[in-house]
């Protein structure tokens, strides 16, 4: 591995289960904007899994941008586009439209303002009927949170008080404010959820 390519062990575990859900969510063709692409490993996996889609990775962090670009260069996939520097909270994004937006493990590892920014940006970019896909752990009303997720929440808040597991109902409310309806929630391995919103 080059110095710039970072690796997250969870990607090897969750990439294919996520891809299985995305097969029923993403359009057949078009551009998918991945917000908060992290190491860049998910982008490589999904660009390979969906060769008819253009996959646009993005992230706000310089080290992540370098890692994403290093993975992209190594993979050599024609449909994996050069990474964009994108902060979900920004008033303007460096992309004007997309056919779907995907954000994996972003909502709990960022301030709440990033989630509201994601909804605002997705509302601008996506056409009616287009999907917004989120993945990660959430709290849900009336459902006990797994002990492992409670411990994860504590560790996140220790790293940054603005991070932590979000209430799915609050995320859905933020999405609704920008024209999105919650279509479905899919239970995933390791107490994670795939959350699919659809633009109204």
* Per-residue model confidence as pLDDT tens digits over 151-181: 999 999 999 999 999 999 999 999 999 999 9
pLDDT tens-digit profile of 81-96?
Answer: 999 999 999 999 999 9
Q: Give me the residue spans of the domains in the chain.
A: 9-199
> For 119-159, what is each residue's pLDDT tens digit?
999 999 999 999 999 999 999 999 999 999 999 999 999 99
CATH 3.40.50.150 fits 9-199, yes or no: yes
pTM: 0.96
**Residue ranges of E strands in the chain:** 30-35, 53-59, 84-85, 100-104, 131-136, 138-139, 166-167, 180-188, 192-199
């Amino acid at each position: 591995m080059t110095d710039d390519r970072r690796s997250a062990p969870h990607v090897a575990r969750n990439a294919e289960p996520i891809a299985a859900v995305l097969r029923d969510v993403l359009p057949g063709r078009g551009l998918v904007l991945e917000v908060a692409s992290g190491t860049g490993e998910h982008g490589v996996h999904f660009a390979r899994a969906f060769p008819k889609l253009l996959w646009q990775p993005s992230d706000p962090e310089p080290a992540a941008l370098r890692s994403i670009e290093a993975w992209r260069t190594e993979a050599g996939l024609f449909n994996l586009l050069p990474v964009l520097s994108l902060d979900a909270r920004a008033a303007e994004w460096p992309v004007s439209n997309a056919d779907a937006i995907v954000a994996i493990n972003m909502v709990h590892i960022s301030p709440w303002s990033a989630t509201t920014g994601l909804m605002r940006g997705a509302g601008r970019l996506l056409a009616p009927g287009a999907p917004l896909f989120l993945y990660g752990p959430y709290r849900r009303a009336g459902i006990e949170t797994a002990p492992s997720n409670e411990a994860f929440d504590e560790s996140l808040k220790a790293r940054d008080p603005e991070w932590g597991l979000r209430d799915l109902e609050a995320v859905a409310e933020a999405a609704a404010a920008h024209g999105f309806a919650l279509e479905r929630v899919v239970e995933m391995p390791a107490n994670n959820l795939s959350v699919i919103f659809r633009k109204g």
